[in-house]
């Protein structure tokens, strides 16, 4: 497998047209049966179909670190985000605080970030929604991460739900959650998922037209 040759803007646009089960069905066929980031991570606020390149952020406990250093790490991370990124956050098991707030979301939106995915909590939720930044997270919390957790690394491999997310992987999401497509196979998965969507359109039309399910199955296979 080779890295995609499709321009990234086109690749993301085409992934945004897909629904998640089509992507996971193709991944299953290729032996990648655990690329879903888990049932805990769900849309917060309006549901969008999203796709983009993974920009990974790793947090850790920061009770012993200074506020100044924690703030510096946060702002340095914000300086690194770019257009078409999906920010994917490993929260170090934090089940207390919101790791992103309205100001961070404002910067992300201005820079063309596609979505925020947090294995943990977010805060300033209404403000993030007002900015138009799609959110996928486990929970919301009013508590600040400052003094509790801090950014320790960006653009490094992170692990969520036993899925390793690498910087640059293609992250796809909708109402069913978030899936990570390894970048090296992103074009191949895209082509096959698009073909599957077209096949399923034909199946739906056949069923809508009253063709018996057994006959549809004989023509199209499992559905």
pLDDT (tens digit per residue) in 22-79 = 999 999 999 999 999 999 999 999 989 999 999 999 998 775 455 555 567 778 889 9
**Whole-angstrom distance, CA of residue 206 vs CA of residue 16:** 26
The mean pLDDT value of the chain amounts to 88
Contact 50, 83 (CB under 8 A): no
Among 108-112, 144-148, 194-198, the minimum mean pLDDT is found in: 144-148
- What pLDDT was estimated at residue 1? 42
Q: Which domains does the chain have, with CATH numbers?
A: 8-196 (3.50.30.40)
- What pLDDT was estimated at residue 40? 96
């Amino acid at each position: 497998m080779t890295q995609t040759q499709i321009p990234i803007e086109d690749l993301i646009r085409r992934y945004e047209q897909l629904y998640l089960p089509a992507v996971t069905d193709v991944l299953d066929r290729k032996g990648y049966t655990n690329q879903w980031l888990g049932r805990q991570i769900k849309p917060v606020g309006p549901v969008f179909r999203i796709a983009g390149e993974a920009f990974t952020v790793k947090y850790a406990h920061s009770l012993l670190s200074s506020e100044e250093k924690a703030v510096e790490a946060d702002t340095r991370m914000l300086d690194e985000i770019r257009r078409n990124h999906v920010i994917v956050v490993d929260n170090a098991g934090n089940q207390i605080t919101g790791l992103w707030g309205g100001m961070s979301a404002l910067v992300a939106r201005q820079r063309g970030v596609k979505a925020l995915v947090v294995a943990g909590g977010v805060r300033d939720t209404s403000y993030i929604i007002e900015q138009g930044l799609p959110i996928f997270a486990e929970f919301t919390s009013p508590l600040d991460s400052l003094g509790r957790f801090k950014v320790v690394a960006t653009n490094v491999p992170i692990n969520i739900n036993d899925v390793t997310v690498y910087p640059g992987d293609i992250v796809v999401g909708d109402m069913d959650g978030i899936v990570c497509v390894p970048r090296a196979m992103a074009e191949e998965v895209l082509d096959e998922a698009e073909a599957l969507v077209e096949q399923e359109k034909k199946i739906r039309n056949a069923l809508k037209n009253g063709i018996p399910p057994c006959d549809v199955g004989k023509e199209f296979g499992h559905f």
